[in-house]
Amino acid sequence: MKTIQVSDEVHRILTNMGSKKQSYNDIIYSLIEKNRVMEEFSEEEAQYYNECIEKLENDDYSDTYKIKLEDLDEKLEELESKGII
């Protein structure tokens, strides 16, 4: 085992995140794993995102639509409720 230094705030957050049965190591490890899973794309997802980026870089906005800034929160809530984001 190694010793690491964390701020009082991080210590408090870690303490509140875990159960009494979990060690700080367990809590930190689970956070690392969750982050790792969230960062990985499948090959299909990566290809799709790269194609979307390429379209935008080439000024191809055919798969997009305009939205007014004042309507953005409503649209985001709609997408969240549908599980899209």
Q: For position 29, what pLDDT does the model report?
A: 93
Q: For position 35, what pLDDT does the model report?
A: 80
What mean pLDDT is predicted for residues 1-6? 89
Residue type at 49 in one-letter notation: Y
pLDDT category, 40, cuts 50, 70, 90?
confident
Look-up of token digits 């309507």? 71
The model's pLDDT over 51-79, given as tens digits with 9 standing for 90+, comes to 999 999 999 999 888 888 888 999 899 98
Angle among Cα 13, 19, 22 to the nearest 5 degrees reads 95
What mean pLDDT is predicted for residues 7-15? 93
